[in-house]
Amino acid sequence: MSVLTIGEHSIAPGQTKKIDLPVAKLYTDADVNLPVYIIRGKKPGPTMFVSAAVHGDELNGIEIIRRLINLKGFKISSGTLIAVPMVNVYGVVNQSRYMPDRRDLNRSFPGSSKGSLAARVANIFLKEIVSHCDYGIDLHTGAIHRSNLPQIRAQLADKETLELAKAFGVPVILNSDIVDGSLREAAVEKDTKVLLYEAGEALRFDEFSIRAGITGIVNVLRYLNMMPKSRKRKKSIHQFIANNSGWLRASSSGIVTHHFQLGDQVKKGDVLADIGSPYGDLLGQVIATKDGVIIGKQNIPLVQEGEAMYHIAFFKEDDEAIAEQIESVEEQLVNSHVANEVLI
């Protein structure tokens, strides 16, 4: 194994190092740095990045990485793990999805060293982190007032990516086309296989999402032989692949009464929510148009006509079995009394 160079820092095999990668400056002339944590095994192996807060208000991923690297007994035996808990440092500081120039960092890749602030951050991240990596896991949440069920999104036509998605170990895997200007698109151009983990809500910690994320990353590291296999017998998780999904939108503006939650099975014709006036008059309803499982949901009880309210994934398998599996995994992770159980 050769020495890994990121910025002006060199990291030898078997070494663990925290570095600050210069990004830009604030108006005050204070430096803004990208925090990077590198763990290298002594044996040769793949290089994988785990990134969070590409959207600065998506905080679950920060906590996933924070807990992951502090797990008792956590070590990389082969290859290299590069963890970046805050890609959009500006957004985290301002509790904003966007960069200060109002650009979406996840639509600014591959970026440019002489472009906008978003383009420069994208360029640095791609050049200094992604270019070294064979694999990556990018951690996201839903938007403000909108939650996502823990799920992996990936380009499932690629067989290796599909196997990585299965290895992660969450019940729902969603086939997702690559979006122009995204980190995933830029990574694929460099032959880096990337999983996108979506779970929870912006500006909130969600324990189920955090624990499922930590467990999933450990599962992938073990699948790639970057970590020793667990001595504990692992409970198998049945996974379900959705090739498509769709949003159901509000039929009226008003105050919402939800009848279904994340992970619930829905049948065509089910009334998912009632929309009423301030006086209690029924103004409209949200009705399921197909059978499926709720993988995304608006949380705020106020809605405008046409606003997206429920994200439904469509499966060929039995939706009831999927809903039961989701509930089982949540029970297993959240109710565990051992915080670092994933490594035992």
Range of the structural domain that residue 319 is part of: 245-331
Of the candidates 229, 255, 280, which is a domain's last residue?
229
Whether 343 is in a domain gets the answer: no
∠ Cα 278 283 285 (to 5°)? 120
Of the candidates 229, 253, 270, which is a domain's last residue?
229
User: Contact, 266 vs 293, CB < 8 A?
Assistant: yes
With a CB cutoff of 8 Å and minimum separation 6, the contacts of 341 are none
Residues 199 and 266 reside in one and the same domain: no
For the entire predicted model, the pTM comes to: 0.93
Q: What is the pLDDT of residue 272?
A: 98
Write the CATH number for 36. 3.40.630.10
Whether 200 is in a domain gets the answer: yes
Residues 162 and 301 reside in one and the same domain: no
Whether 305 is in a domain gets the answer: yes
Residues 195 and 255 reside in one and the same domain: no
Cα–Cα distance for residue pair 107/119, rounded to 1 Å: 9
Residues 293 and 210 reside in one and the same domain: no
Residues 138 and 65 reside in one and the same domain: yes
Residues 176 and 305 reside in one and the same domain: no
Pairing of strands 244-249, 254-258: unpaired
Whether 339 is in a domain gets the answer: no
Whether 162 is in a domain gets the answer: yes
Q: Where are the alpha helices (DSSP H) in the chain?
A: 60-69, 89-94, 117-128, 159-168, 183-189, 207-223, 319-334
How would you write the pLDDT of the chain (344 residues) with one tens digit per residue? 799 999 999 999 999 999 999 988 878 888 889 999 999 999 999 999 999 999 999 999 999 999 999 999 899 999 999 999 999 999 999 999 999 989 999 999 999 999 999 999 999 999 999 999 999 999 999 999 999 999 999 999 999 999 999 999 999 999 998 999 999 999 999 999 999 999 999 999 999 999 999 999 999 999 999 999 887 766 667 788 998 899 999 999 999 999 999 999 999 999 999 999 999 999 999 999 999 999 999 999 999 999 999 999 998 766 677 777 777 777 777 765 444 555 54
Cα–Cα distance for residue pair 275/298, rounded to 1 Å: 13
> How many CB atoms are located within 10 Å of the residue 281 CB?
8
- DSSP structural state of residue 61: H
Whether 125 is in a domain gets the answer: yes
Calculate helix-pair angle for 159-168, 207-223, nearest 10 degrees.
130
Residues 100 and 152 reside in one and the same domain: yes
Residues 250 and 209 reside in one and the same domain: no
With a CB cutoff of 8 Å and minimum separation 6, the contacts of 71 are 214, 340, 342, 343
Whether 319 is in a domain gets the answer: yes
| Nearest alpha carbon to residue 20 among 6, 4, 39 | 6
Q: Is 340 exposed, middle or buried (0-12, 13-18, 19+ CB in 10 A)?
A: middle
Residues 64 and 213 reside in one and the same domain: yes
Residues 146 and 224 reside in one and the same domain: yes
Write the CATH number for 257. 2.40.50.100
User: What's the one-letter identity of residue 165?
Assistant: A
Residue with tokens 């996502």: 148
120 by DSSP, 3-state: which? Answer: helix
Of the candidates 178, 197, 229, which is a domain's last residue?
229
Residues 122 and 269 reside in one and the same domain: no
| Nearest alpha carbon to residue 88 among 96, 80, 78, 76 | 96
Tally of structural domains, the chain: 2
Whether 140 is in a domain gets the answer: yes
